[in-house]
Chains A and B, each alone.
Chain A
């Protein structure tokens, strides 16, 4: 029986935009993710996909509900503890790659190691190893604006893998890529899932990407769709 990494029940989140305008982004979402899952969160725009991903990734807090991450009760976690968990147990891949523009590819990857507690030498060795794994051994000293979209997303994947996280959360990881590059990136993620048993949860609009996932969680109006 695979280990349960995420177990969340009745997650609720609302945003008060003004006195008369409150958005109920999540209204009792349940989700369970096991080690080695390759899951997609899908649903129409505004259904709460990104909010759920942010809560699962400890970037935001639910207003109510229960959430256990690798056995840790997130609802009782302090912000300083959340930072440590985010650095060591979670990896993020964003739609717009979100690399730091002033840093080279290798420095971007090393940055995650800095927050994960690695020393400089460890960071350098690990970052170079991951970029080589991503096929970017010749692009390590290039800055993001000198890389293609696909290459930038590979750097972002390397950064997400830096601290050997239990789970990688991806928010529309192929959203800014053409279809050929999108499938290339998905194949790369699947390979990491297959070979390293790396757990992935990704939010996507792309039906092809969703179809490539082993498990799909569908949301509608802030709730699990039946």
Chain B
């Protein structure tokens, strides 16, 4: 080992430059890899949830674009859906941003899932096939029997805002009592606040001027007595009756369907689509899973790409260094062979030296990369947008990769050294 170290230090400048090359490559691998791991974690968590249900969105919207724009599901569609063969339960859901969008920063600018309110239809028998319950860090999940003013808070929101069970949290001007803090999932639910669907619908209504105007009209229409209504023209009467029909429980931006045991979710999705294709967009678990896999593939390509960069940058610099080193040490190889060194022993020495260069560069690159990721994570943690997932397993893997890279890059020069004919090396003496 000492001999390897001494050989590395023979040409300090060259060794430092080689190690720097590997350090840069492994730094990029660590940072890009940690970022991709974070994305993949978010994506896989989302996939697990989304493939455990059939997702129903209003016609004209898309999964990527969300149900934004105030689009809502038609009035009687949930009831019609419940009657489709294979459907176990249908749950309305309301998802709105936790805070009113900032007019000066309407796009937000956060990383990963945005903080949002999840209004849940707890009266429904719906259950997600892959994610029936959330593990709790403290307290409990909201229940059907709870009043409307209780919430369960996601891990990141609770950490960012310093919220504990029993606290009161003000959301969009209303006070809610916190009954539980969810455990960390490293995906969507960390940034959710779970509440019953009624207060979520009320907040959706309050945030949407169009819906609010319908509600105002309904309230005004309700003030008109039936006697007064009878005095109006048929056309006016029709409009007022229509205005009166507006109900809060009709505000359903999206819904989730669970299927009966033994049913194929894709077949159930197709049945819903056949019967309600003019009214809703049906997203089957398989179709959504495929879409998510496509996104995931991009991040896997980032990991692979950064590994390839590290491989090329680091590998070639090691090969170059080792070839130069062997050419300079031809005499020494000759001496060693003359005193009995086997080809294997010579190859082993040089391969280990290349592996040592790889591992030193790897440890440096990994350390600098991990520290960089930690610093950035700490800076962005306040906004709930940690960019990197720093996994000890991945970091160890990175170091192992750098050693393997060194060894592989060293194999060809080492074999050249081993195959050197003693007499040729001796002639250099």
Contacts and interface: CB of A to CB of B under 8 A. Distances in A.
Contacts of A163: 340
Contact of B338 (A86, A102, A103): A86
Interface in B285-309: none
A87 B426 contact: no
B339 A80 contact: no
A17 to B, nearest CB: 12
A149 interface: no
Interface of A: 54, 57, 59-60, 79-80, 83-84, 86-88, 90-92, 94-96, 98-103, 107, 111-112, 115-116, 159, 163
A143 B225 CA distance: 111
B341 A100 contact: no
B340 A112 contact: yes
Given A59-B422, A60-B423, A100-B332, A94 B339 contact: no
Given A100-B332, A102-B6, A102-B10, A86 B426 contact: no
Query: Which has the most chain A C-beta neighbours within 10 Å: B10, B336, B340, B429?
Result: B340
B339 to A, nearest CB: 5
A100 B349 CA distance: 14
Interface of B: 3, 6-7, 10, 331-332, 334-343, 345, 422-423, 426, 429
Nearest to A101: B332
B10 to A, nearest CB: 6
Contact of A57 (B10, B335, B338, B341): B338
A54 B3 contact: no
B343 A80 contact: yes
A86 B339 contact: yes
Contacts of A90: 340
14 contacts: A80-B342, A83-B340, A87-B340, A87-B341, A90-B340, A94-B335, A94-B338, A94-B429, A95-B429, A98-B335, A102-B3, A112-B340, A115-B341, A116-B340
A102 B422 contact: no
Contacts of B338: 57, 59, 86, 92, 94, 98
Query: Which has the most chain A C-beta neighbours within 10 Å: B3, B7, B335?
Result: B335
Contacts of B337: 59, 83, 86
A112 B343 contact: no
B426 A115 contact: no
Contacts of A95: 429
Given A59-B338, A86-B339, A102 B7 contact: yes
Contacts, number: 67
B342 A115 contact: yes
Contacts of B426: 54, 59
B3 A88 contact: no
B7 A115 contact: no
Contacts of A80: 342-343
A54 B429 CA distance: 13
A54 B339 CA distance: 13
B118 to A, nearest CB: 66
A98 B337 CA distance: 12
Contacts of B422: 59-60
Nearest to B7: A102
Nearest to A102: B6
Contact of B343 (A59, A83, A96): A83
Contacts of A84: 340, 342
A175 to B, nearest CB: 11
A86 to B, nearest CB: 5
Contact of B429 (A87, A98, A115): A98
A78 to B, nearest CB: 11
Contacts of B335: 94, 98-100
B419 to A, nearest CB: 10
A54 B336 contact: no
Contacts of A83: 337, 340-343
Contacts of A88: 340
B336 A111 contact: yes
A67 to B, nearest CB: 15
B347 to A, nearest CB: 13
Given A87-B340, A159-B339, 18 more contacts: A54-B423, A54-B426, A59-B338, A60-B423, A79-B343, A80-B343, A83-B337, A83-B342, A86-B339, A92-B338, A92-B339, A98-B334, A100-B336, A102-B7, A111-B336, A112-B339, A115-B340, A115-B345
Contacts of A116: 340
A163 B338 CA distance: 13
A95 B335 CA distance: 12
Contacts of A98: 331, 334-335, 338, 429
B406 to A, nearest CB: 20
A116 B201 CA distance: 84
Contacts of A102: 3, 6-7, 10
